[in-house]
Structure 1
Amino acid sequence: MSHISIRNVALCLACLLALYGATPGLGIKPYHISGYAQGTTYHVTYYATDSIITKAAIENLLAEIDSSLSIYKPYSLISRFNESQSGLIADKYLQAVTKKSLEVYKETGGIFDITVYPLVRAWGFGTKKVTGLPDSTTISALMQCIGSGKIHLNANHLIKDDPCVKLDVNGIAQGYSVDVLALFLEKKGIRCYMAEIGGELRVKGKKPDGTYMKVGIEGPADNSFDAPVIERIMTLKKGAITTAGNYRKYYQNGNKRISHLLDARTGYPIQNEMISVTIVAKDAITADGYDSPLMGMHINEALAFMKRHKDMQAYFIYHRPDGSVADTATKGFYKLLQ
C-alpha cells in the first residue's frame, strides 16, 4: 500500500534521551552507535561490559538487507525480480518480507499490498520523478498489474503471474531490518538494547538501574502537525513500535496535497481522517506491516480491527469532522503509558 522512507524520528529521540540518562552498574554501561543507512538514520544503544558490537558490522548487515530489498538499487534482488518475466529464487530476506506481506494483505483485505510499485512510481514516490499526476486511464491500466494474488512463494522461488507485476516492500522492510538488527544483537549476547532505523524501533531488557526503556510518542500540538511535539511517554519491557503518517512525506500539486500512502484497492492516495497510526507489537515487521493499512481505514474501522488483533496495540491521531485534531488508543496502549 505504501512507500515509506521518512519516519517519526522524534519517537526515537525521546528514547535516546532516556537511554543516555541511564545509570550504569556492575561494570555494565551503555554503548551507542549511529549512522546513515537505507535512506535515513539509525541508532543502536546496547548495555554490556565491553564494546562487542562495531559500527562496521551493523552497516554491513544493513547493506546486505538493502542488496535484497531496496528498489533504489538496480542490482538488488527485488529490482531483479521487478525486471524479470516470471520471478526468481528469493533469498532469506525477500522470503521473510514476502511471507509477512502476504499475511498482512490477507488480514487487511488487500489494503496493504507490496505489488503497489507501479502506482508508487506513477504518483511520483518511486525511483524516478514525474511531471504530472496520473489520469484515470493510466490508473486503470496500472491496476491490471496490482494484487498480491498475482505473486506466489513456492519454497524459495518467488513467482509472478505477469511480467508487469513489480514489488515495493518499503512499507514493511524497514521494520524487518530493525528485527534483523535486534536479533543480531541478541546473538552477540546482548540482553538490553534499543535498535532503531528511521523512527522504527525495537527494545528489550532492563537497564542497569532496573528501569525499562522509555519511548516518546508524537501527539497533536495546537491542532497542527507542522511542528509536532512529544505528547506521550511509554514504558516498554520488550517489543517494537512503528508509526505511519500522512504529514511527513507528501508533495503539493496545485491545491492538492498528494500523500505517499496509496490505497492499492483504488490506485489513489488515501484521503480520510487519519493523520498517524502508531503500532506496538512483538516485533517490528508486524508493527510496520500494520501501521500503514490502518492509515487506510476510518477511525471506527481501525478500532474494530484492533479489537480482533489483541496481540497489537495502537495509538491513532485523526481529524474530527469539524477539522480539529483528536487522538485515541486501544486499552492496552494506555496501560503502557506513564
Structure 2
Amino acid sequence: MFAAGKYIVLFLLPLVCFFFGKPDLREYTIKGYAQGTDYTIKYFAADSIVTKGAVDRILSVIDSSMSLYKPYSLICRFNAADDGLQLDPHFVKVMRRSFEIYKDTRGKFDATVQPLVQAWGFGAKSITKFPDSAEVKQLLACVGMHHLSLKGNYLKKSKSCIKVDLNGIAQGYSVDVIADYLNSKGIKSYVVEIGGELRMKGPKPDGTSLRIGIEGPAISADAEPVIRHVISINNGAITTAGNYRKYLQKGAKKIAHLIDPKTGYPLDNALISVTIYAKDAITADGYDSPIMAMGLEEALDFVNAKKGMEAYIIYHKKDGSVADTLTNGFRKMIVN
C-alpha cells in the first residue's frame, strides 16, 4: 500500500465521449483497488485485450516488492535486515531513480525517511503520541541515503537502523508499469490513474487532446476542494503532492504528512500543493514531494531548469490568503 504515505489531489475528469471515433474501436474501463487506493484504467481498442485480472496481478507483484503494509514484502524484509538484501527488478529500478532524485534535490527527497514517517503517525503502525525533540534527533541519525549503496541488485545499508519508505515514488512507478503494459499491447490511447496519479497517451479518436481537472484547496475551511484548472495534453504524467488533506491534529495545529528529512519535522512552509507534469509518472511522483519542501521562488526556479517538467503551485501568501502560480509550459496546457 503506497497511498497512506502521500495523498494525491488530482481529479480525473469524466471521459464521457472519450472514445467515440472509429466504429471498430471501443472504450474499455477497468476499475479496482490496489496499493491502498482506487485505480481506473480507460483505453481504446478493438477488443478487451487488457483485463482486470492482468492489471491486478501486475500491481500485486509490485506490492509484494515495495509495500510497507505487506509484512512479507521485500521492502519489509530489507528494513528488518541488519546489512542489506538482494532486490527484485522493480525495487532496483525505483531505488536507482530514488538515488538520482536524492542527489538532484540535495536530499529533499530521501527514501530513508521511514523512521520519521512512522514516528509522526503516517506509517504502517498507529502511534499514541508525537515525538519530542530528543526523539526526532535520535531518529535523524537513522536517516540519509548516503547510508545506502546499490551494487547490481544488492542494496546495502551502513547502519542496521536504516529503513526505506518508497511511498513518495513507488505509486508513480506503478502507473508507468501499467502504462508500459498497455503500450506493449499496441494500445494508442489511454489514461492510467492510481490514487489520482496519472499517465496518459492520446489523442482521443476524434483527434482532440485528453483533459484533466486539477483540484486545489477550497477558499474556506468548511468548503469542499475545487477544480482550479482544466488542462489538455496528449502524452505525459501528472501527479500532485499536497498537505491540505492528509494530516493529523495536534491541538489547534495540523501535522502535515510530508516530512522534511533534513529537520525531522513535518513541512510547515508556504506551499500548499505542487502539481507536476513530466514525461513519466515516476519522475513527476518522485519530484512533487521534495519540491513541496522548497520555497516558492526556489521551487519555480528548480522546475524551470528541468527540461520536460512543468509545475502548478498553490501557496499561502504572507497575509495568509491562498494564491497560485505556474510555469509557462503549464500555462500553455490550460484550457480556457
> TM-score higher than 0.5 here?
yes
2:102 aligned with 1:101: no
Q: Could you list the runs of 5+ residues in structure 1 that have no partner in the other structure? A: none
Alignment match, 2:188: 191
Question: 1:253 maps to which residue?
Answer: 250
Is the CA contact 1:6–1:40 (under 8 Å) kept in the aligned structure 2?
no
Give 2:7's aligned residue: 6
Structure 1 pair 19–158 and aligned structure 2 pair: CA distance change class (3 A): farther
Matched residue, 2:113: 116
Does the C-alpha gap of structure 1 residues 272 and 126 become closer, same or farther in structure 2, counting only changes over 3 Å?
same
Once the two structures are TM-superposed, the CA of residue 226 in structure 1 deviates from its matched residue by 4.5
Alignment pair present for 1:146 and 2:139: no
The answer to whether the 8 A contact 2:6-2:241 is kept is: no
Classify 1:248/1:100 alpha carbon distance in 2 versus 1 (closer, same or farther; 3 Å). Answer: same
Q: Tell me the TM-score normalized by structure 1.
A: 0.96
Deviation at 1:218, TM superposition (A): 1.3
- Of residues 196, 202, 208, the one that matches 1:205 is 202
TM-score w.r.t. the length of structure 2 is 0.96
1:288-338 Cα shifts (integer Å, max 9, x gaps): 000001110111110111122132000000000001100000000001111
- Secondary structure in 2 matching 1:67: helix
- CA deviation after TM superposition for structure 1 residue 23, in Å: 1.7
CA distance in 2, matches of 1:110, 1:102: 9
* In the alignment, structure 1 residue 87 sits paired with structure 2 residue 88: no
Instruction: Quote how far apart the aligned CAs of 1:20 are.
Output: 4.7
Alignment of 1:167-316 (within 5 A): 167-222=164-219, 224=221, 226-316=223-313
- The residue matched to 2:69 in structure 1 has which SS? coil
Contact 2:216/2:273 (CA < 8 Å) preserved in 1?
A: no
Query: C-alpha distance in 2, partners of 1:290/1:19?
Result: 31
Secondary structure, in 3 states, of the residue corresponding to 1:142? helix
1:178: Cα distance to partner?
0.1
2:18 is aligned with 1:18 = no
How far is 1:229 from its partner?
1.1
**Aligned twin of 1:330:** 327
The ranges of structure 1 where at least 4 consecutive aligned residues each deviate by more than 2 angstroms after the TM superposition are: 2-6, 18-22, 219-226
Change (3 A) 1:225 1:40: farther
1:149/1:19 Cα in 2 relative to 1: closer, same or farther (>3 Å)? farther
AA aligned opposite 2:286: G
Change (3 A) 1:245 1:41: same
SS at match of 2:113: helix
Deviation at residue 228 of structure 1 after TM alignment: 1.1
Deviations 1:80-139 (A, max 9, x none): 000001111111111111111111111111011010000011111111111111011111
Query: How far off is 1:244 after superposition?
Result: 0.3
Pairwise CA distance, 1:254? 1.1
Q: Which letter maps to 1:189?
A: G
- Map of 2:154 onto structure 1: 157
Q: Percent identity?
A: 53
| CA root-mean-square deviation | 1.4
Q: How many residues of Structure 1 are paired with residues of Structure 2 in the alignment?
A: 333
